Structure 1
Amino acid sequence: MILNSVIIHEIRKEANTTNTATLYLSNSVLDVSNEYVLKIVTSLEESFSRKTLKRAKFSEDGFKEDFQDFTNIDIMNFSNVLTTKLKNNINGISQAKGGYLVFARYTTTQDFLAIFLVRNTEGSKLIPSAGSWDLDSTQYLDVEHFAMGTKINLSILNSESDDRYISLVRGNTDISHYFEAWIGLDDPKQENKDAQALYNIANQIDLPNGMTRDSLKRTIFDYAKSSTGKIVNLRDLSTYIFQDENYITNYCETNNVDIDGEFKLTGANLSRFYKVSVKANNIELTFPRSSFNPNEIEIIDGQVVIHSEELAQQIQSALNSNIDVE
């Protein structure tokens, strides 16, 4: 990780109170060469990557109301404006809590802007110092239990790509609607895109010993078909196949794969992991992938050859009966 800039602000507000939120805005960025600052961002990044993430793009409200250009972010102004906006947004929400807002720009495989809300609990408080923070105190920030977080892939956002560039932690009841509203998300489901991404992963990811591509796809098919609502959770699927909940998400992170952390896999999107369906010259074939072998179905000199006496008999019987073959 190459750390470019980091700044931390604090929103002070207790949950379940009508207290007005207050701010402690830093007037300077942190020293990115400081070991505690680097540890904070690295730990938050690692903790974030272990969560189930959803993908989205910006809507026209939220961040886009204040900033349209993300090519050259002034993190001081950017963070001041948005922290103040979040503070104002939660003033009327009794259950909303404050915390430290960590804004960080860094580069791993691509350029990212990350924002994490970390709770300021007893024993994990930062010490204010000259308009910023005592850097030694940052080691006590409870980064493993950050409440909310988002990562914006600036490389994708500032390109011509149609990929989703926002990752947001999902599956935590503490992630309140106001945090998503603050960011401003255009969040249409893209289950066809997610299914295609998973299919591509199945064709490319390193396999465990003894597993073939076809057996991997059949395992994905079995997992999705048996899950409630045919929901695929990438972390659960990774544990199911690889006995490592991070295996698939690590692959996605390394290869910049645009895929939601949880989505439905149904219909034709599901069937393709187990079946092959093709149609040409008024002939339609549907068969399990496992049937593509020299004993059942194969391609010889560019021609499809089906080894099935039973199928031949049914075709002949249908023709003899002068009915359409089904």
Structure 2
Amino acid sequence: MILDKIVIHELKKESESNKVELIFSDELLPNDDDSTALLIALSASYKSDKILYAVFDDSEGRYFPEKFNDYKDSTRQNQNFIDFTRQVIGNLETLISPVTFATGGYFIFAEYIENGNNFISVFLIRDVEGKILKKTKNSFAIQTVEYIDTKNLAMACRINENRINDREINYLSFIQLRQKEVSEYFKSWISIKQLESSAEYTKTLYTIISQIEPPKDPETNIEYDLQTFRDLVYNYVSKIPNKTVNIKDLSQYFYEDNDKVSNFANEKNLQIDTEFRFNGTQLKKFIKVEVNRDGINLKFSRGILNEKVRFSDHNPNQIIIESESFAKALRNQIND
């Protein structure tokens, strides 16, 4: 991770109060080991939470995307970044004031590079109380201290500039908040628009399962072959009652590590919601197709249908298999 800029502003608000106070920073935090360590901790906490993907709502009058684009098109000096963060926090003041149960905290804005991607992220963290033991002359004393809780983010979002520049969708991600009222004002502030993409996410799941290291069979302690793993994932997902796949649950089931799959997706820059409704048609790519007719036994993964195996456009009785390695193996067997 390479940190470029980081700044903190504080927004003070008590639950059940409409009074809001902003305390702005006039300069960035030093770009040092402590700042980098803070960002690493926040990023790790972010990835461990429930993540959803989206885009900006680019309709007229959306303040956050407007100011973000202004900053993106600027010379991106330190003062440009500070101005951008102060402007959007100022706009948040009017949105959060009427939200009864909303409380304030420290808003951390960071610009950095991770896994080759350029990100601008916003994290909301709060102070929590804890206990420490302090040695006295004859014993120990219990003291109450306050510290920032980086492990439990109150809110957060992350903007992937590489995906914006490449005109790809789902360049914005955010954590799913448990309090609906708070979640709505945060989404409204960032101007988040979610896209219905169950088919795309099911396709992405297929890509992940096809590329990730397969888990081991608990009985033999040997890795599953790829098609067996795909079949197991199909059986697991297709039996989910509400058709909602939870990536962390799936990861825990197959790897006994609920972050294995999501970490792999992040490393490969694959965007997938932590929870999504699967698409039945796309899910069938996981299982094999097997047909035995006229002395021909054809068996292949449904995922390569229309890629390496396809029907002829001109003859309904003709099937085309386009594979160099398959053709070579067939020639060798015939010649032998």
**TM bracket, shorter-chain basis:** 0.7 to 0.9
Return the alpha-carbon distance in structure 1 between the equivalents of residues 35 and 253 of structure 2. Answer: 36
Q: Secondary structure at the match of 1:57?
A: strand
Q: What residue in structure 2 maps to residue 10 of structure 1?
A: 10
1:258 aligned residue = 271
User: 2:67 maps to what in 1?
Assistant: 66
Matched, 1:173 2:186: no
Number of aligned positions between the proteins = 273
Residues 189-232 of structure 1 show CA distances to partners (whole Å, capped at 9, x for unaligned) of 11111111111112111123421111111121122112231111
The Cα shift of 1:163 comes to 3.3
What is the CA deviation profile of residues 209-265 of structure 1, one whole-angstrom value per residue up to 9, with x for unaligned ones?
Answer: 421111111121122112231111111111111111111111111111122222111
- Structure 1 equivalent of residue 91 of structure 2: 85
Q: Deviations over 1:111-163 (max 9, x none)?
A: 11110011234569xxxxxxxxxxxxxx9321111200011111222x12323
TM-score, length basis structure 1:
0.77
- Aligned equivalents of 2:41, 2:316: Cα separation in 1: 58
- Measure the CA separation in 2 of the matches of 1:49 and 1:23: 28
Q: Is the 8 A contact 1:112 1:153 kept in 2?
A: yes
Aligned to 1:218: 231
Check if 1:21 corresponds to 2:20.
Answer: yes
On the 8 A contact 1:10/1:98 being kept in 2, the answer is: yes
Q: 2:154 aligns with which of 147, 155, 160?
A: 147
Q: Are the counterparts in 2 of residues 221 and 274 from structure 1 also a CA contact under 8 Å? A: yes
Which of 24, 34, 37 does residue 35 from structure 2 map onto? 37
Relative distance call for 1:140 and 1:121 in structure 2 (3 A) is closer
Q: Deviations over 1:86-124 (max 9, x none)?
A: 112111111111110000111111111110011234569
On the 8 A contact 1:219/1:241 being kept in 2, the answer is no
Structure 2: gaps (5+ residues): 132-145, 216-221, 290-301, 320-327, 332-336
Aligned mates of 1:264, 1:200 — CA distance in 2: 17
For the Cα contact (< 8 Å) 2:159–2:173, is it kept in 1?
Answer: yes
Deviation at 1:300, TM superposition (A): 8.0
CA gap 1:283/1:183 in 2 versus in 1, 3 angstroms: farther
1:1-326 equivalences under 5 Å are 1-17=1-17, 19-33=18-32, 35-60=33-58, 61-69=62-70, 70-72=72-74, 73=76, 74-109=80-115, 110-122=117-129, 140-157=147-164, 159-170=165-176, 172-173=178-179, 175-208=182-215, 209-276=222-289, 280=311, 281-282=315-316, 301=330
Q: Distance in 1 between matches of 2:235 and 2:63?
A: 40
Distance change in 2, residues 1:214/1:62 (3 Å): farther
Bigger mean CA offset, 169-178 vs 221-230: 169-178
TM-score by length of 2: 0.75
For 1:21 and 1:120, the matched residues in 2 are separated by 17
Q: Tell me the secondary structure at the aligned position of residue 286 of structure 2.
A: coil
Q: Secondary structure at the match of 2:151?
A: helix
Identity across the alignment (%): 28
Q: Is the CA contact 2:110–2:121 (under 8 Å) kept in the aligned structure 1?
A: yes
Indicate if the aligned counterparts of 1:9 and 1:25 stay in contact, CA closer than 8 A.
Answer: yes
